[in-house]
Structure 1
Amino acid sequence: MRAIEISSYGSPEVLKLCEREQPVPGKGELLIKVHAAGVNRPDVLQRLGYYPVPPGASDLPGLEVAGEVVAGDLDGTGFDVGDSVCALVQGGGYAEYCVAPVGQCLPIPDGLSMLEAASLPETYFTVWSNVFDRAGLLSGETLLVQGGTSGIGVAAIQIARAMGNRVFATAGSEEKCRATEALGAERGINYKTEAFPEVVKELTAGKGVDVILDMVAGNYLPLEINTLADDGRLVIIALLGGAKSEIDLGQVLRRRLTITGSTLRPRSVEFKAKIALRLREYVWPLLKNKKIIPVIHHVFSLEQAAQAHAMMESGQHIGKIMLQLI
C-alpha cells in the first residue's frame, strides 16, 4: 500500500511517500480501506520528534480516518465487510489501509461524506473527553474555547452550543473571530487586540466562565484563572505556549478552582470506546440533524501531506485540514 512516513524528524519535507505492507487486523480490530484522513496538531508534533509513538502503534502519522471495512474481527461487532466507518486510531492514518480497534469505530453519521466523517474522530473524542467528561460542563454553563478556529475549537464551539451552553472563543484575527461567531460562539475575542479576561468578565456580569478549554498553557494560565468563575474548571489539552507557568494558588483555594488536563493518544482502547458510545448517543444525532456541521478548510491528496503540515503550522486555517485518498 501507499503511505506517508516520517523519514527523519524535521520540517514538513521529511514526510515521504513510501510503500508499506498492509497492516493485519488482530483480535478486536477492523481493517479499513482509507478514503480520507484528518491532519492534526499531534501529527506535526510527531513529525518534529515531540510526540512519541505509543508501544505497539504504527509509526506512520495519522490519528483519524474514514473508509470501508474490508476485513477484521467482525463477530458480534455490528459491523460487516463493506460498511462505511470513521475511526480514531493510534497512528497509521496516512495510508491506503489502516487498522482500528472496533470500539473506536463509529458509523458514518447520516448525510455526511467520507471526507467529512474523517474530520470528526480526533477532535470530537478529545472535546467530549475533556470538556464534558473531565471538566463536567453542564447544560446552561459557560465555556471559553482558546483557539476557536482550530479543529478542536470548531468542534468544541459547535458541540457545546448545541448542548445548550453559552460559548466564547479566542482567535487571532477579526476574520477568525467572526468565523467563531458563525459557528455558535456568542463572542469571538481577538487575543491580539483584546484582553480576554476583561471581555469575558464583561459578558458574564463579572462572574467569569465555568469551563475553559485551553491548548496554550504557559503564560495564559494566570489570565485563565482570573477568567474562571468560582468552582470553575480549566482543562489543558496542549502546551503551545509552554509547559511552565506561575499561578496564584490562593485563588485556587479560595474559589475552589480545578486545573486539569489530559492527552488522548496513550489512553486504553476501553477508555476510548466509552467515549465513542457517548458520541454516538449524544453527538451523532446532532450531526444527522445538521445542528453541527463539519468544517473543512482545505483538502490535499496523500502525496501532498507535506503541504498539509505546512498549512497546519501556518495557523491560517479555519477548521480541519484533510487528506483525501479516494
Structure 2
Amino acid sequence: MRGVVLTGPGPVENLELRDLPIPEARPGWVRIAVRAFGLNRSDLHLRLGFAEGDVPYPIVPGIEAVGVVDAAPDSDLEVGQQVAAMMGGMGRAFDGGYAEYTLVPRAQVVPFRSELPWAVLGAVPETLQTAYGALTTGLDLRKGQTLLIRGGTSALGYATAALARDLGATVLATTRQRDRLSTLAEHGVDHPILDDGTVAGRVREVVPEGVDAALELVGTPTLPDTLASTRVQGTVCFAGMLSNTWTVPDFYPIGYIPTGVRLTAYSGDAADLPAPVLQRYLDDLSTGTLTLGPTHTYPLSKIQEAHQAMENNTTPGKLVILP
C-alpha cells in the first residue's frame, strides 16, 4: 500500500510517501481500507514536535480516517461496512490514517451508512466529534442562548456554528481576515466579527451583558479576551490551539478569570461521538439541512502541500486527503 511516514519532527519534507506493507489483521482490531482522511491541528503539532509523550518515529500520522472494513476478526463489523475511525492512539502510539489501509482498535471505530461522497465524509469524524462534544459536554449550550466562536473560519469553527444554529442558538464568530466575514455569514453565522486581537468590545455591542457561551479555538493568546466577552455565570470552553500556544505562564486564576465566568475544556474520543449521533448529522448533510463548511481536497501525493496550507492558515475550512 501507499502511506505517508513522518520520519521525525520538522518541516513538511519529513512527510514521505512510501510503499508500506498492508497491516496484518488481528482480533480486537479493525483493518480499514481508507477512502479519505481529514487533516487536524494535532497532526501539525505532531509534525512540529509539540506532541506529548514518546512517539515511535518513524510513524504513519493521522488521528482519523473514513473507509470500509477490510478485515475485522472476531468483530461485530462486516467486511465492506462503512466506518469512521478516530483518536485512541491513532498516529501517536501506532500508525494512523495517512495511508491506503489502517489498523485500529474496535473501540475507535464508528459504523455509519451514507451515500455522500468520500470527500465530504472525510471532513466529518473528528471535527464533528469535537464540535458536538464541546457544545454538549464543554458548554451545555441551550436553545436561545448566544455563542461566540473564536476562530470561526477553521473547520471546527464552521462545524460548531452549524451545530449551534441547528440547536437554536445565536452565533457570533471571529476571523482575522476581512474577506472571510462574508464567508462566515454565508455559512450561517449571525454576527461575523473581525478579530484584531481584541473583540470583547464588539461582542458586547451585540450582546451587552456578554455571551452565554464561548468556544476558544485560537489558544491562550486570545483566551483572556474571550473570557472578557462572556457574561457572569457564562461558560468558556477551551478546545483548540490554532495559534500553537496552549499554556498560560504564571497562571493566577483569580486575576486571570473574570469573576463569575466559568472556564472549561474539551478533548474527546470516538466514544464521545455515538453512532446514532454521527448517523443523524450525516443524514442532515445528505439532505442539505446541515453544512459543516468548506472542504478542500488533495491526493495523497500532495500531503506536503496540504500540510503547508494547514500550517500557514491559508485555506479556510477542512483539508481532506483522498488516497
Contact 1:109 1:117 in 2 (8 A): no
Cα deviation per residue 1:161-211 (whole Å; 9 max; x = unaligned)?
11111111101112212111111110111103x84212211212x121111
What stretches of structure 1 of length at least 5 have no aligned partner? none
The alignment status of 1:47 with 2:47, answered yes or no, reads yes
Q: Write out aligned runs for 1:177-216 (5 A).
A: 177-192=181-196, 195-204=198-207, 206-216=208-218
Give a deviation string over 1:229-282, Cα, whole Å, max 9, x none.
121111112342452166772685742x22122434xx5xxxx32422462365
2:233 maps to what in 1?
231
Q: CA deviation at 1:224?
A: 1.5
Alignment partner of 1:322 is 2:316: no
Listed as ranges, the gaps of 5+ residues in structure 2 are: none
Mean CA deviation greater in 154-163 or 125-134: 125-134
* 1:5 alignment counterpart: 5
Instruction: Tell me the distance in 1 between the aligned counterparts of 2:125 and 2:16.
Output: 25
Which region of structure 1 is more displaced relative to structure 2, 169-178 or 232-241? 232-241
What's 1:102 paired with?
106
Q: Match of 1:43, SS?
A: helix
TM-score, length basis structure 1 = 0.87
| Pair 229,85 (structure 1): closer, same or farther in 2 beyond 3 Å | same
Which residue in 1 is equivalent to 2:136?
132
Whichever residue aligns with residue 100 of structure 1, its letter is V
Q: 1:144 aligns with which of 148, 153, 160?
A: 148
Among 174, 177, 182, the alignment partner of 2:178 is 174
Q: Distance in 1 between matches of 2:224 and 2:2?
A: 47
SS of the aligned residue for 2:274 comes to helix
CA–CA distance in 1 between the matches of 2:180 and 2:73? 44
Are 1:3 and 1:96, in contact at CA under 8 Å, matched by a contact in 2? yes
Q: What is the percentage of aligned positions where both structures have the same residue?
A: 27
Q: What letter matches 1:315 in structure 2?
A: N
Task: Output one character per residue of 1:96-135: Cα deviation in whole Å (capped at 9) or x when no partner.
Answer: 1012343443345534111211111111111122221122
- The residue number in structure 1 matching 2:164 is 160
Q: Decide whether the 8 Å contact of 1:6 with 1:14 is kept in 2.
A: yes
Distance 1:154 1:101 in 2: 29
Question: Does 2:300 match 1:302?
Answer: yes
Compared CA separation, residues 142 and 250, structure 1 to 2 (3 A): same
CA–CA distance in structure 2, aligned partners of residues 180 and 74 of structure 1:
46
SS of the equivalent of 1:158 reads helix
Distance 1:244 1:235, change over 3 A: same
Q: Comparing 312-321 with 217-226, which one deviates more in the overlay?
A: 217-226
1:25 Cα deviation from its structure 2 partner = 4.1
**Contact (CA 8 Å) 2:236, 2:262: kept in 1 or not?**
yes
The one-letter amino acid paired with 1:238 is G
AA partner of residue 142 (structure 2): L
SS in 2 for 1:45: helix
Secondary structure at 1:123 match in 2 = helix
For the Cα contact (< 8 Å) 2:8–2:57, is it kept in 1?
no
CA RMSD of aligned residues (A): 2.6
Aligned residues: 314
- What is the TM-score with the length of structure 2 in the denominator? 0.87
The question of whether the paired residues in 2 share the 8 Å contact of 1:105 and 1:276 is answered with no
Whether 1:36 and 2:41 are equivalent positions in the alignment is: no
Distance 1:83 1:297 in 2: 24
Residues 142, 57 of structure 1: CA spacing in aligned structure 2 closer, same or farther, 3 A cutoff? farther
> Contact 1:109/1:287 (CA < 8 Å) preserved in 2?
no
Out of 243, 249, 262, the residue aligned to residue 254 of structure 2 is: 249
